[in-house]
A = this chain, B = another copy of it.
Amino acid sequence: MTEQESAEPAADAPDAGARRGLSRRGLLGLAVGGGAAALAVGAGAGYAVAASPRGPDDEAPYEFFGAHQAGIITPVQEHLHFASFDMMPRTDRADLVELLQDWSYAASRITQGLDVSATGAVGGSPESPPDDTGEAQGLPANGLTVTIGFGPTLFEKDGEDRYGIQDQRPAALERLPAFLGDDLAPESSDGDLCIQVCADDPQVAVHAVRNLSRIAFGRARLRWSQLGYGKTSRTTSDQQTPRNLFGFKDGTANILADDTAALDKSVWVAASDEPAWLAGGSYLVARKIAMIIETWDRVRLSEQERTFGRDKGEGAPLSGGTEFTEPKLSGLDARSHVRLAHPDSNGGTRILRRGFNYVGGNNELGRLDAGLFFLSYQRDPAQFITLQRSLSTDLMNEYVRHVGSGLWAIPPGAAAGSYVGAPLFA
């Protein structure tokens, strides 16, 4: 069902990272206004992951604990709610560890279709705010995954080592270089931490971000967030390739979940890579790519197809064949997207794409605020940088603008009952 080692959360796991519930701080975050009563509510909350499921499910939920975090090679879900967080001023290492423990505890529950804590949306005392905000009550897990990442600024910000982890910073974890055509807005870029939430129901995805934001109270604050839909990337061989908002199939040549060799080569950080705490993890690049929809829509079909290097109907390379025929690069325009992005044009470089379409309404000129929220996982950020530099002459650049960007190290999955990032703080 999922890429992770099956691992039941152990109620009495003895390791240092194990948690039996939300921290006092996490509960305090939930309970501002509730005061002491709320703490009393939390006191009895055990790590009862099997209790009070939200409802029936068509499919078994994805495990939160495992060798790798879920949400990377998990079959891509219908909806995304991506959230970037900054740590609050005057927080210390203990605050950060506690936050990661609380997030992991809550994520291990909600991914199983449970409320964020054992007292739930209506439990505890009527004189306290409920631990869980409640809008996902009655809904199954809907394939929910929660994937947590660490940004460059978590390790060092303005020269400061806020959390005593500067020496553990991966050398490759630094702000992405500027690319031609970047038009990045700080309000949709970067962040100390990120959480990628995917689910087949948008309410379940929003519920996750909302509750994890709430639990972070006093420790981290939502910096920016992005909703998306439509799984524009095919990540398993039985999935139909979805279409992006240019109307073309996207992600045809993606790395697939069952291609272990490619995953080991291009997605997972190896034990032999540095630093050791990141082994089994990955790097996540996010790019908010606005599409100039109205301009694109006025381009003649032949030019649209030349730009992509594929035909629009079938998705076949213009060099011939069907969708899954390997393109003959010499048969494509030298500036076509497929040719420039192809591994053969980039020394074999591949990445795992996991993007989503987004539509935010329209701007004051009546133009759709829409595009691709590009997400990719790779063993080394250099893979993305290589490809993005290759795309600097892409014909498609006339129709897109990169308005947001971020890079995060994605720790390996947490051991049962432990928390994401535990090896970094060991």
Contact = CB atoms under 8 A, between A and B. Distances in A.
Contacts of A137: 243, 247, 312-313
Given A230-B203, A360-B360, A299 B221 contact: no
Interface string A51-94: 00000000000000000000000000000010000000000000
A312 B213 contact: no
A312 B33 contact: no
A312 B203 contact: no
A56 to B, nearest CB: 11
Contacts of A370: 206, 210
A328 to B, nearest CB: 20
A126 B305 CA distance: 9
A319 to B, nearest CB: 17
A129 interface: yes
A298 B206 contact: no
B210 A301 contact: no
A327 interface: no
A145 interface: no
Contact of A135 (B134, B245, B298): B245
Interface in A164-191: 187
A222 interface: yes
A395 to B, nearest CB: 16
Nearest to A134: B247
B202 A229 contact: yes
| Most chain B beta-carbon neighbours within 10 Å: one of A124, A132, A313 | A313
A232 B135 CA distance: 11
A28 to B, nearest CB: 11
B248 A134 contact: yes
Contacts of A224: 361-362
A196 to B, nearest CB: 15
A133 interface: yes
| Most chain B beta-carbon neighbours within 10 Å: one of A122, A223, A242 | A122
Contacts of A245: 135, 206
| Most chain B beta-carbon neighbours within 10 Å: one of A135, A137, A304, A357 | A135
A330 interface: no
A357 B242 CA distance: 25
Q: Rank and list the top 5 A-B pairs by shortest CB-CB distance, nearest first.
A: A134-B247, A126-B302, A222-B366, A33-B298, A122-B313
28 contacts: A30-B297, A31-B298, A33-B298, A37-B300, A121-B247, A121-B313, A122-B301, A124-B301, A125-B300, A125-B301, A127-B300, A129-B301, A130-B247, A130-B301, A130-B312, A133-B247, A134-B246, A135-B357, A137-B313, A187-B364, A202-B230, A203-B357, A206-B370, A210-B368, A210-B370, A223-B366, A224-B362, A227-B359
Interface of A: 30-34, 37, 81, 121-122, 124-130, 132-138, 187, 202-203, 206, 209-210, 213-214, 221-227, 229-230, 240, 242-248, 293-294, 297-302, 304-305, 311-313, 357, 359-362, 364, 366-368, 370
